[in-house]
Amino acid sequence: MKKILSVSLTASLISLSCANENNKEQTNSFRSLNLHPVSATLAPEVLEMKYFADRRARLFEQIPDNSVVVLPSHSEIISSYDQNYSFRQDSNFYYMTGFNEPDSVAVLVKNGQEHKFILFVRPNDPLREQWNGYRAGLEGAKTQYLADESYEFSDFDTKILEILNNQDMLYFDLGSHKEYDTKAISWLEVINNPRTRINSKPLQIASIGNITLEMRLIKDDYEQYLIEKASKISAAAHTKVMQAALTANHEYELEAEFRYETAKFGATKQSYEPIVGAGRNTTVLHYIENDADIQRTDLVLIDAGAEYMNYATDITRTFPASGKFSEEQKQIYNIVLKAQLAGIEQIKPGHTYDQMNKAILPVLVEGLVEVGLLDANGKSVEQLIEENAYRPFYMHSCCHWVGLDVHDPSSQKVNGKFRELKPGMVLTVEPGLYINDTIKDIDSKWINIGVRIEDTVLVTEDGYKILTKDVPKQLSEVEQVVSGQ
């Protein structure tokens, strides 16, 4: 598996399928069915239901007896008149079910040895399905998604009261689904009202996020595979974009290229709106207008990652639109690159989440002092860091978790202390320096140089694996790919 995924993206599909045949020992069908990291010719990956069942089993282990967990799906959202935004499933719901339809609810019930998985779904409806597409329906919820029981979504409001009857605990995330917040409170009102009370003791409510987000932090084999696939496809697309940049005159041309090169390989959605900025726009962190002209003297910063089967990746590269860095651009690029490599070097089990930033900051500050952008005034690097002297140039943190969400919402700290890294965690390392006209008293030659370099990295048993390593990053390599020489 590792061997095959590390095959370079330029390798032909023929050599990939040979590798496939040589790996008969593989048992997981997601591995044996489609090992091609960037093959457009095979069907999409299959859903491996056993992984979702395993997650539910692990969730059941962590909740007390007589508990009910309610996980709502997302609904469709109108974009204009009778049109919807492209549907994206709720990540917590998806993590536990693999079910990708709107208007659904998963309910998990634990009573002694009985662990029940109930899915409320949209029923089969030939007319609706003729117009709007396939539904798994009540049968599919059981046969394909392994639900023990399935009901129509429209029955949820009445059925949930029966389910909650005489249970002790309701696990639910208040605040994450507005409509359900109101519902959850109304269930408690019915069940806990002294006049209408059904339960012998009050039903309590607790956050399920504490458990699910802790689980989502460590990616299982299947998740690692899907994130690596999103990463491989996106890395190849970034390289293609660099190759197309020399003749591009507008930011949107490069955005279009990235979307095309990812969709073509089955990653039809983006993990986030692509950031494609040229010139001054390289200094705007979340610039997404992507509609400005590209001047040949500009740097271009592209922060983009496609989603694969709901799994994200996150990559940023910065390159000169001319194929050749100016002297100033080169100096800033090399500082950021050195900082990024120093950050990645800190990734291994046992190291804490803040060690990456602690390695990155001195490199950035030393670099800024060296090129004369920061006046040290006799102060040490430690003092300058202490005083946040770098903040006008670097105003974000270096890292975030990646998973079903591009900013995977698990916490960075536990009990006020930064977490230890563990195998199976996935995170970005993305230092940057951003210089524009808002910074006072600097030589104009530095203005409009924004550089960020970002990779998505898996924590392994003995260190790390850069999942997005196939995009050029060394300065000379970047120049080569962009200039085509």
Provide the annotated active-site residues.
Answer: 82, 286, 303, 314, 396, 400, 407, 430, 434, 452, 454
Q: Where are the alpha helices (DSSP H) in 264-352?
A: 327-345
| Partners of residue 87 on adjacent β-strands | none
**Residue number with the shortest CB distance to Mn ion?**
314
Least gap, CB of 314 to Mn ion (angstroms): 4
Least distance to Mn ion, CB of residue 13, Å: 30
Candidates 71-79, 286-294, 307-315, 475-483: pick the segment binding Mn ion (CB under 5 A): 307-315
* Interface residue with Mn ion, options 173, 255, 314, 455 (CB under 5 A): 314
- Taking the complex as a whole, the smallest distance from the CB of residue 39 to Mn ion amounts, in Å, to 27
Site string for Mn ion, 8-37 (x = CB under 5 A): ------------------------------
What are the angstrom distances between the C-alpha of 423 and each of 70, 269, 416?
29, 28, 22
**DSSP states of 406-433 as a string?**
SS----SEETTEEPBP-TT-EEEE--EE
428 binding Mn ion? (CB under 5 A)? yes
Report whether 239 contacts 262 (CB < 8 A): no
Strands across the sheet containing 426-429: 426-429, 455-460, 463-466
- The residue range among 306-314, 323-331, 438-446, 462-470 that interacts with Mn ion, by the rule CB under 5 A, is 306-314
Residues 234-273, mask of contacts with Mn ion (x by CB under 5 A): ----------------------------------------
With vertex at residue 432, the alpha carbon angle to CA 430 and CA 437, rounded to the nearest 5 degrees, is 155
Where is 79: in which H helix or E strand? strand 78-80
Q: Cα(472)–Cα(315) distance, rounded to whole angstroms?
A: 11
Number of H helices, E strands in the chain: 16, 20
Kindly state the DSSP code that residue 346 receives in the 8-state scheme: T
Instruction: Return the residue matching tokens 């430690």.
Output: 382
The least distance separating Mn ion from the CB of residue 303, rounded to whole angstroms, comes to 7
How big is the chain, counted in residues? 485
**Is 5 or 275 the residue whose CB approaches Mn ion more closely?**
275
CB closer to Mn ion out of 328 and 454: 454
- Look up residue 274 and give its amino acid: P
Between 191 and 426, CB nearer to Mn ion: 426
Q: Least distance in Å: CB of 430 to Mn ion?
A: 5
End-to-end CA distance of the chain: 34
Please identify, among the stretches 68-76, 133-141, 172-180, 310-318, the one whose residues bind Mn ion according to the rule CB under 5 A.
310-318
| Among the listed residues 151, 179, 150, 147, the one whose alpha carbon sits nearest the alpha carbon of residue 74 | 179
Q: Which two structure tokens, joined as six digits, stand for 16?
A: 């990939």
Which residue, 52 or 319, has its beta carbon nearer to Mn ion? 319
Q: Contact region for Mn ion (CB under 5 A) — 152-160, 194-202, 384-392, 424-432?
A: 424-432
CB of residue 106 to Mn ion, shortest distance in Å: 29
Q: What angle do CA 25, 26, 31 make, to 5 degrees?
A: 155
DSSP 248: -
453 neighbors 473 (Cβ within 8 angstroms): yes
How many other β-carbons are positioned within 10 Å of the β-carbon of residue 321? 21
Of 109-117, 312-320, 415-423, 432-440, the segment contacting Mn ion by CB under 5 A is 312-320
Measured CA to CA, the distance from residue 338 to residue 474 in angstroms comes to 10
Q: Which stretch binds Mn ion (CB under 5 A): 28-36, 192-200, 229-237, 311-319?
A: 311-319
Of 98 and 432, the one with the shorter C-beta distance to Mn ion is: 432
Which lies closer to Mn ion via its Cβ, residue 213 or residue 312? 312
- Cα distance between residue 442 and residue 428, in whole Å: 31
Rounded to a whole number of angstroms, the minimum distance from the CB of residue 179 to Mn ion is 30
Nearest to 178 by CA among 93, 72, 69, 102: 72
CA distance linking residue 133 with residue 128, whole number of Å:
7
Nearer to Mn ion, 150 or 290 (CB): 290
Q: How far is the CB of 184 from Mn ion (least distance, A)?
A: 33
In the bound state with Mn ion, the residue whose beta carbon lies nearer, of 20 and 428, is 428
Residues in contact with Mn ion, counted by CB under 5 A, come to a total of 2
Query: Which of 90, 314 has the CB closer to Mn ion?
Result: 314
Dihedral sign (CA 433, 434, 438, 442): positive
Site stretch for Mn ion (CB under 5 A), options 144-152, 385-393, 421-429, 470-478: 421-429
Q: How far is the CB of 457 from Mn ion (least distance, A)?
A: 11
Residues that bind Mn ion (CB under 5 A): 314, 428
